[in-house]
A and B are shown apart, each in its own frame.
Chain A
Amino acid sequence: MIIAEGKPLVEVAGLIQEARKVLVVGCGGCVTVCLAGGEKETGILAAALRLLRQKEGNPLETVEVTLTRQCDPEYVDMLEKYVTDDVDAIVSLACGVGVQFLAERYNKWVVPALNTKFAGGTVEHGVWEERCGLCGECILYKTGGICPIIRCSKSILNGPCGGSQNGKCEVNPETPCAWQLIYDRMQALGKLDLLMEIQPPKDWSKSRDGGPRKVVREDVRLA
């Protein structure tokens, strides 16, 4: 899932300083699971913003709505009835995708309440970690199911570099060296010989490149 975390309250408040009434919009997708932008966090943020503004003698009206997902137009449409003329701004607690979908759909000042961090998963309750670099061309079959693109601090495809020691990365002693993990796993699977193959430079045009990437599935298109 996409992992996000809340911006500091003061920062969010600063983004809507001019507004008198705001829509605070949560998302029922990834950010609900990672406890950053679901219904609960939406309520807490709205209350905190109101309290802060009250303290400043500049009261703020909030309307809270949590959409099933902010990355699908059919759910984004459901916000329409709340987007009234007196709404000065929309605060989105979705990832960067949701913020943009709201901004594209509604002619209002839309601001992010979260920092979108990465594609990852839960490693323990309250701890999420990155796993996928969204490079657009998966090579996990070459590396024993461990991604060097995002888990190696230098994205080395023919690792490990000279900074791997005692299983840790030179950049941070808390971070496991991805190539140590790959080595151990390939050894356990009896596939160390695969690591002797020289991996050629990666085709980064499949990754972040000229403008937004798009996936089109003709078989499921309606029109």
Chain B
Amino acid sequence: MKTESKLEKLLSQGHFVVSGEIGPPKHANPEGIKKHTALLKDYVDAMNLTDNQTAIVRLSSIAAGVHVLQAGGEPIIQMTVRDRNRIALQSDLLGAYSLGMRNVLCLSGDHQSFGNHPTAKNVHDVDSLQLIKIVKDLRDQKKFACGEELKGNEPRFFIGAAANPFADPFEFRVLRLEKKINAGADFIQTQCIFDMERFERFMAMVRERGLHKKAHIIAGVMPLKSAKAARYMQQSVAGMIVPDEIVNRMEKAADPKAEGVAICVEQIKHLKTIEGVAGVHIMAVMWEEIIPTIVQEAGLYPRPDAG
């Protein structure tokens, strides 16, 4: 074990893990985060706290992580390189660790033009891959990004990275995943999977290169709430592929919400059979309360005890 992370422990014990996601609010009241944590903590092994997702100002992921921890959940703080340079990123890593965070997901971050401050200056001092290496070097070399030795307690994070099998160029996606693993990623959370055929091809390439043995690959899923949501994901979200078949199913459904859950449960059951998939990450955006139902119906409840 490299860290005190509960997520690492469960993964190393060979459990098929379940993670969820909580989007922090656009205000300073933490009640929603606490409520969602109470609702989810027995159904997921860890919860991602997004970092100003879609470049919209929200309560910070680290602060949200503290609320999750206090409410009994296992936080995974997301950290993008959009808003902070290497000084601020490392400072926040030290701070987050001191507050009990043990998992971090290193990301590029959505471009600021998508958010509510499109005239902001982005930072991108380092990229997500370089951030992975920074977190790893802090942990394993006790060194700051500048090479200076860290004297005292080092932050020992279980390091996450994202992979998107649905972005292009497809052939390079597995290689970039390999780069992230080489840089220090311990676990991977993928973009939402709708195109199962493409994901299967991706995983075949992953296995060919033995990457599933070097990092834990957690497959992303998203329950769809409506046909409109399905079409939106299909047409308007870059780096996302939603097959027509799924959109059609949502359109024909008498109860679209139930159909969305049914599709998600089928996907999870299928993902569980794919060699090299170590768990699922359920991104129920603005629909966190459906996660317990999905976890139960997918036969993933109760969750294992990390001891």
A165 and B129 contact, CB distance less than 8 A: no
Check A154 against B130 for contact (C-beta < 8 Å): no
Q: A154-B122, A177-B168, A201-B145 are in contact. Are A159 and B127 (CB under 8 A)?
A: yes
Q: Given A154-B108, A198-B183, A204-B125, decide whether A164 and B130 contact each other with a Cβ distance below 8 A.
A: no
Q: Does A196 contact B (CB under 8 A)?
A: yes
- The B-contacting residues of A in range 154-183, CB under 8 angstroms, are 154-167, 170-171, 177, 180, 183
Instruction: Using known A-B contacts A162-B191, A195-B175, determine if residue A154 contacts B111 with beta carbons closer than 8 Å.
Output: yes
Within 8 A of A (CB), among B221-240: 238-239
The CA of A215 and the CA of B126, in the complex, are separated in Å by: 26
Of B130, B164, B167, B175, which contacts A201 at CB under 8 A? B130
Residues on B with C-beta less than 8 A from A163 are 110-111, 167, 238-239
State whether the Cβ of B128 lies closer than 8 Å to any Cβ in chain A.
Answer: yes
B168/A180 in contact, CB under 8 A: yes
Q: Is B167 a contact partner of A165 (Cβ separation < 8 A)?
A: yes
B179 at the interface (CB under 8 A from A): yes
Among residues of B, the one whose C-beta sits closest to the C-beta of A168 is B238
Residue of A with least CB distance to B130: A201
B259 to chain A, nearest CB (A): 26
Chain A contacts of B145 at CB under 8 A? Answer: 201
Cβ of B130: which chain A residues have Cβ within 8 Å of it? 157-158, 198-201
B176 touches A171 (CB 8 A): no
Say if the beta carbon of B249 comes within 8 Å of chain A.
no
Contact string, B184-226, partner A, CB cutoff 8 A, digits 1/0? 0000000100000000000000000000000000000000000
Query: Do residues B238 and A165 form an inter-chain contact, with CB atoms below 8 A?
Result: yes
B158-179 residues at the A interface, CB under 8 angstroms: 162-164, 166-169, 172, 175-176, 178-179
Decide: A158 and B127 in contact? CB cutoff 8 A. yes
- Residue A122 CB within 8 A of the other chain: no
| Cβ-based interface call for B142 (8 A) | no
Could you mark each residue 183-212 of chain A with 1 if its beta carbon is under 8 Å from any beta carbon of chain B, else 0? 110000000100110111110100000000
Q: Does A17 contact B (CB under 8 A)?
A: no
- How far apart sit A139 and B134, CA to CA, in the bound complex (Å)? 21
Instruction: Give the interface residue-count category, chain A.
Output: 20 to 34
For B169, list chain A residues within 8 Å (CB): 160, 164, 180, 183-184
B82 at the interface (CB under 8 A from A): yes
Asked, given contacts A171-B113, A198-B183, whether A154 binds B86 with beta carbons under 8 Å apart, the answer is no
Q: Does B3 contact A (CB under 8 A)?
A: no
Cross-chain contact A162 with B127 (CB below 8 angstroms):
no
Instruction: Tell me whether A153 is interfacial, beta carbon within 8 Å.
Output: yes
Nearest B residue to A149, CB-CB: B124
Known: A154-B127, A171-B113, A183-B169. A198 touches B108 (CB 8 A): no
Q: Which residues of A contact B113 (CB under 8 A)?
A: 171
Closest to A156 in B: B127
Question: Chain B, 99-122, contact with A by CB distance < 8 Å: what is the 0/1 string?
Answer: 000000000111101100000001
Note all chain B residues with C-beta closer than 8 A to A157.
127, 129-130
**Bound form: Cα–Cα A184–B191 in Å:** 23
In the complex, the answer to whether A170 meets B176 with C-beta atoms within 8 Å is no
Nearest residue (CB) in A for B126 is: A201
Quick check: is B133 within 8 A (CB to CB) of the other chain?
yes
Chain A residues lying within 8 Å of B167, measured Cβ to Cβ, are 160-165
A161 and chain B: residue at smallest CB distance: B108
In chain A, what residue has the closest Cβ to B191? A162
Q: Which residue of A lies closest to B238 (CB)?
A: A170
Given A154-B108, A180-B169, A196-B175, verify A165-B239 contact (CB < 8 Å).
Answer: yes
Measured between beta carbons, the chain A residues less than 8 angstroms from B109 are 154
Q: A163-B239, A196-B179, A201-B86 are in contact. Are A156 and B124 (CB under 8 A)?
A: yes
What are 27 contact pairs spanning A and B, CB under 8 A? A154-B82, A154-B111, A154-B122, A156-B128, A157-B130, A158-B130, A158-B176, A158-B179, A159-B176, A160-B172, A160-B176, A162-B164, A162-B239, A163-B110, A164-B168, A164-B239, A165-B168, A170-B111, A177-B168, A192-B175, A198-B130, A198-B133, A198-B179, A200-B130, A200-B133, A201-B125, A201-B126
Q: A158-B179, A180-B169 are in contact. List 6 more A-B contacts (CB 8 A).
A: A156-B128, A158-B130, A162-B163, A162-B167, A162-B239, A167-B168
